[in-house]
């Protein structure tokens, strides 16, 4: 991930100090364009210059893919990167609907979600109900008032998961998988979350807002290599050489036979555009997440994960993060780890059943120590 370190250095050397453009957010040092391109054949792009909590990245991505927008699942799995945004959204709902705040601190809010709030359900009249471990009259009155304003504790509104799975009634993940399977060369295999009509119902408009998936056909030699790494050589009825190729067969014969065996035909690449990037904390998560998404979609569509290109718009370091970035720049990159998806995924239904236990990170044995930094979300202190 030398490209990432180069990005940090570029911001420090050439960035312009400016306002963040959001209330209660610190100033930034920023540039207007950045690109990081990663070939997943080289390993899984998880930083080695600071230890990354990779399970948090997996949990968040699964949360998106299931179309969820409530932090209950994240909190239950000890993922707290969305806590402040959810609490800020709760406070806004209380203010906008003239409801007294029951949870005076974010700690109370998160504790309620983790320890008291079990689940929610809707009755036949589409009214919101909570299943709680314990409650009192004041809490019940508060929840009833919030429910009447169509708000659920811990929800973030129509953020990523909603847009991915139900944007104006469209399931974009289903459409993406169908498109790649039925028309792989199509140029409309896109996930787009920049839905302005829903902004007023989002705790935060999307930062990583557009993904385009593009195929590249594999050569017969590349397909042979993949087949030899995945199947038994004794199944092959062509003569093959020491490198696993079929010198006595025509290119057409090889392709036709590999088609019969169901060998992948394509590399799958992705370009992701991020309008706003917190380069010290957020961007490393986003790069790993987009790469894992590429792996999941590739596996589901019987393709080979190829090149993941991250494109940053307003790419910045918060002023308070600059010392941490400089500390990271002193460190040497180490060999990238490998990520394995252990379960077969052939459909969207298979994807939504994935759990953290279906992922295995290997060779991440010796990253540099983590570097702590504050996550800024605009929550007023």
Percent of the chain's residues with pLDDT above 70: 95
Given a contact cutoff of 8 angstroms between Cβ atoms, the answer to whether 50 and 368 are in contact is: yes
Residues paired with 307 in a beta bridge: 39
Please name the residue that has the structure tokens 């370190």. Answer: 5
Q: What is the pLDDT averaged over residues 104-108?
A: 96
Q: Is the pLDDT of residue 57 over 80?
A: yes
* Average pLDDT for 265-269: 97
Active site residue 207: yes
- Residue 10 φ then ψ, to 5°: -65, -40
Query: Rounded mean pLDDT of 130-145?
Result: 94
Greater pLDDT, 98 or 227? 98
What is the average per-residue pLDDT within 30-43?
A: 97
- Whether pLDDT at 286 is above 50: yes
Q: What is the pLDDT of residue 159?
A: 98
pLDDT of residue 245: 60
List the domain boundaries for the chain.
Answer: 2-68+159-218+264-362, 70-156
Q: What is the DSSP letter of 113?
A: I
Catalytic residue among 94, 207, 301, 333: 207
Give mean pLDDT, residues 83-95. Answer: 97
- Per-residue pLDDT tens digits for 176-231: 999 999 999 999 999 999 999 999 999 999 999 999 999 999 998 888 888 777 65
Residue with tokens 């992948």: 264
Average pLDDT over residues 127-143: 93
The answer to whether 358 and 314 are in contact (CB under 8 A) is no
Stated pTM of the model: 0.94
Q: Give the pLDDT confidence of 293-329 residue by residue, as tens digits.
A: 999 999 999 999 999 999 999 999 999 999 999 999 9
Q: What is the DSSP string of 79-146?
A: --TTHHHHHHHHHHHHHHTT---S--SHHHHHHIIIIIEEEEEE-TT--EEEEESS--HHHHHHHHHH
Compute the distance between CA of residue 39 and CA of residue 54 in angstroms, rounded to an integer: 19
So what CATH class is 2-68+159-218+264-362?
alpha beta
């Amino acid at each position: 991930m030398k490209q990432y370190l180069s990005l940090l250095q570029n911001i420090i050397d050439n960035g312009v100090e400016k306002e963040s453009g959001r209330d209660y957010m610190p100033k930034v040092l920023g540039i207007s364009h950045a690109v990081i391109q990663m070939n997943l054949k080289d390993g899984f792009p998880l930083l080695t210059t600071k230890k990354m909590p990779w399970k948090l990245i997996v949990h968040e991505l699964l949360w998106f893919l299931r179309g969820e927008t409530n932090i209950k699942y994240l909190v239950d799995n000890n993922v707290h990167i969305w806590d402040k945004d959810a609490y800020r959204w709760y406070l806004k709902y209380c203010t906008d609907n003239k409801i007294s705040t029951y949870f005076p601190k974010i700690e109370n809010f998160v504790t309620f979600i983790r320890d008291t709030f079990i689940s929610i359900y809707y009755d036949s009249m589409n009214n919101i109900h909570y299943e709680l471990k314990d409650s009192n009259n004041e809490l019940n009155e508060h929840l009833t008032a919030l429910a009447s304003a169509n708000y659920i504790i811990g929800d973030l509104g129509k953020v990523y998961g909603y847009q991915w799975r139900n944007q104006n009634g469209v399931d974009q993940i289903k459409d993406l998988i169908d498109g790649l399977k039925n028309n792989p060369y199509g140029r409309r295999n896109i996930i787009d979350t920049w839905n302005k009509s829903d902004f007023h119902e989002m705790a935060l408009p999307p930062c990583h807002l557009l993904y385009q998936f593009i195929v590249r056909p594999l050569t017969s030699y590349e397909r042979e290599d993949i087949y030899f790494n995945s199947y038994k050589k004794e199944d092959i009825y062509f003569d093959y050489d020491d490198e696993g190729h079929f010198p006595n067969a025509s290119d057409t014969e090889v392709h036709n036979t590999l088609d019969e065996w169901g060998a992948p035909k394509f590399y799958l690449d992705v370009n992701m555009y991020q309008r706003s990037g917190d380069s010290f904390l957020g961007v490393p998560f986003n790069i790993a997440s987009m790469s894992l998404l590429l792996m999941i979609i590739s596996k589901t569509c019987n393709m080979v994960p190829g090149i993941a290109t991250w494109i940053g718009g307003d790419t910045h370091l918060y002023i308070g993060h600059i010392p941490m970035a400089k500390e990271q720049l002193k460190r040497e990159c180490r060999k990238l780890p490998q990520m394995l998806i252990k379960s077969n995924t052939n459909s969207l239904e298979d994807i939504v059943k994935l759990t953290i236990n279906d992922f295995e990170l290997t060779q991440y044995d010796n990253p540099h120590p983590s570097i702590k930094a504050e996550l800024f979300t605009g929550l007023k202190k």
